[in-house]
Each structure stands twice: as C-alpha cells, then as structure tokens.
Amino acid sequence: MPETPGASRVAAAIACEGLELDYGRGSRIGPLTLEIGAGSCVALVGENGAGKSSFISMVLGLRPPTRGSLSLFGEHCHSTASRRGIGYLQESVDFPERARAQDLMALHSRLTGLDRKKTSRELEGYLDGFGLELTSKPTRAYSKGMKQRLALAIAMLDCKRMLILDEPNSGLDPVGIAMLRAKLDALKAEGTTLLISTHRLAEVMHLADRVLVLHQGKVAGASPMSEFHDFPAFEKYFLERVK
C-alpha cells in the first residue's frame, strides 16, 4: 500500500485503500490510498472543495465511503469502537443556543466515559486552560473566538489516540493561537496522532511532520515537512501540486 512518506506501517492511525466517496453527478472524492502513522502530525492541505472535510467525515464515520476500505488503529471504521479516544474539531463551530459550556462539557465527558465527579471538580481549571470561564452564559452569548476555544476544549477532552482539527485557528486571537500551539506541542510530545486540516500553511509548517496535499479529491502530494527549508519552499510545493 502506498503511504505518506515517513508513516509507520506497524500501527497506522489511519489506513485507507481505494477510498471513494461519490456525491453523484460525477463528483467524487478519491480513490485515496494512504497511511498516516500513529503518533505522527500530518497537515492536510488543499484548495476549497479539495475534499479535506469529506475525508475527515469518512474517518470519523460521519459519511460512509462509497467504495474502498478505511481503518483506524487497525479497526474497521464502521465500528464505533474504532472512534474511541479520537477528538474532533469541526470547521464550522456553533452550539445549541441555550446550552452552557458546562452542559456541553458534561455531555462530552459522559460520552467519553470520563469520571463525572472528577470532571466537575476539574472543569473550571480545564476550561481556564483554554481561556474560558465557568459562567452561566449560554453559548449564544459567546464570540466566535470563545466558541472556537470551547470547541477545542471539547475536542481535547478525549484525544488519547488522535486529534483531528479542521481549521483550528479560525476565529482565534493571537493569544488563542499561542495557547493552541502549546497544547498541540504537548499532545505531540505525548504521542497523540494529529491530523490538521487548514488553509494557513505557515501555521502548520513548524508543527507538522509531513504534509498531505489534496486536489480535486485526490492525493496530489505527500512529503515530509523536513524537505522544506523555509516557508516559500513549502508554499511553492503546495502551489505546484494544486495547479
């Protein structure tokens, strides 16, 4: 199976072969055949409509692939168990208007099987780590940046195995971006697999081990980040692949 350079064949976090998703009317993603090794940090880049979010949806089991196989840490993606320990941040973040941060945290804590009492005790400190306060304000009163911080807090509640982020910097101020960078560095050091889909090439250049370029639903390029000695070289590589 072709793999993204540097990916481990021993324990692939994501392994797909001939993966396709038909939208009808001739529009499709794939076929995608790739491996993302456990513990690696991969930047998923591409133009708008390249298929990045669709690929992530298939990985998360939100969209069943039309054809091909997809496994997460050796388990078939159809099994709900394969998605345990995987955190996810959506591209477009919005929550039920009347829900408060603690309601959402309580829900996702229970869904991830975390100890409720322990979570309640540590909730304030945990949210503080994301620059959020425990208030009675519903999420409709949150700014876009606060919603993004809350979504990051929810995504990182249980990401022991993998964290998938779709445009993680969206709406964050410079302090928030620095906070996110520190959290991702820490997760990377702990061996969590990171898959970051973004349009902002500069922000993933120093974090990612390798880059995966999607273009018109297919892998247009895969390369270790160490091959690019500076940002212009990385940008040139990307632009050449999506021409």
What count of Cα atoms within 13 Å lies in the side-chain half-sphere of residue 100? 8
Query: Any long-range contacts for 71-76 (C-beta under 8 Å, 24+ apart)?
Result: 71/12, 71/14, 71/15, 71/16, 72/13, 72/14, 72/162, 73/11, 73/12, 73/13, 73/38, 73/161, 73/162, 74/11, 74/12, 74/15
Residue 92 or 243 with smaller CB distance to another protein = 92
Considering only residues 66-85, where is the footprint of another protein by CB under 8 A? 80-81, 83-84
DSSP 48: T
The CA distance from 146 to 192, in Å, is: 25
Residue 26 or 113 with smaller CB distance to another protein = 113
Residue 110 or 206 with smaller CB distance to another protein = 110
Residue 5 or 96 with smaller CB distance to another protein = 96
Site pattern 28..57 for another protein (x: CB under 8 A) = -----------------------------x
Total interface residues for another protein by CB under 8 A: 32
CA 18 to chain centre: 21
Parallel, antiparallel, or unpaired: how do β-strands 12-24 and 27-37 relate? antiparallel
Minimal distance, residue 157 CB to another protein, in Å: 9
From candidates 10, 25, 48, 92, binder to another protein by CB under 8 A: 92
Minimal distance, residue 166 CB to another protein, in Å: 11
CA 54 to chain centre: 12
Nearest to 157 by CA among 118, 108, 220, 103: 108
From candidates 3, 8, 68, 99, binder to another protein by CB under 8 A: 99
Cis geometry, peptide bond prior to residue 2 (ω within 30 degrees of 0): no
Considering only residues 136-195, where is the footprint of another protein by CB under 8 A? 154-155, 158
From candidates 88, 130, 142, 238, binder to another protein by CB under 8 A: 88
Question: 183: Cβ–Cβ under 8 A, 6 or more apart, which residues?
Answer: 129, 152, 156
Q: Quick check: 25 binds another protein (CB under 8 A)?
A: no
Judged by CB under 8 A, which stretch of 32-40, 86-94, 180-188, 197-205 contacts another protein? 86-94
Minimal distance, residue 200 CB to another protein, in Å: 22
Minimal distance, residue 223 CB to another protein, in Å: 28
> By the criterion CB under 8 A, which residues form the site for another protein?
57, 60-64, 80-81, 83-84, 86, 88, 90, 92-96, 98-99, 103-104, 106-108, 110-113, 154-155, 158
